[in-house]
Amino acid sequence: MLSGSRLFSIINTCEWDTRRLADSLVKREGRPGVDRHETYAYDPIGNVPSIEDGSPSGTDLQRFDYDHLRRLTDAWTQNQGKWAASGAAATIAGPAPYHHSYTYDTVGNRVTETLHERSITRTHEYDAEQLPP
């Protein structure tokens, strides 16, 4: 691929049996190292519980938790080492640190989105007349 006057490569590696993305690498011609290298982990049912996201500015270790309906409930970055049991228990760190939490109503609509690192909670409301039956 061409970006400005420099070529760059994107190399995606998939798991052999599931065809799920395992690694993604972005490298520009004429520059040492890589611009981005992401490594994906999967749980037995196909959720992504973690992504290791390396770049020249450092490595983000991103962690994701899901509820029993496979909806994202918690996402955060943390230091290297053993994963914290939850975003609330983690030491939020990395080049792009964040901790976001989500809640849902009984029919699956997102009700809240909390950006803990910025002390912001967004509440989502839905017009019952506009929802499908």
In a domain, 4, yes or no: no
Domain that holds residue 125: 65-133
In a domain, 102, yes or no: yes
CA geometry: angle at 96 spanning 92 and 99, to 5°?
40
In a domain, 80, yes or no: yes
Mean pLDDT of the chain: 89
> What is the per-residue pLDDT for 88?
79
Residue 2 pLDDT exceeds 60: no
In a domain, 33, yes or no: no
Q: Which has the higher per-residue pLDDT, 4 or 47?
A: 47
Residue 4 pLDDT exceeds 70: no
In a domain, 86, yes or no: yes
With 0-12 CB in 10 A as exposed, 13-18 as middle and 19+ as buried, what is 52?
middle
Number of domains in the chain: 1
Residue 5 pLDDT exceeds 70: no
> What digits encode the pLDDT tens for the residues 14-27?
999 999 999 999 99
> What is the per-residue pLDDT for 34?
86
In a domain, 74, yes or no: yes
In a domain, 123, yes or no: yes
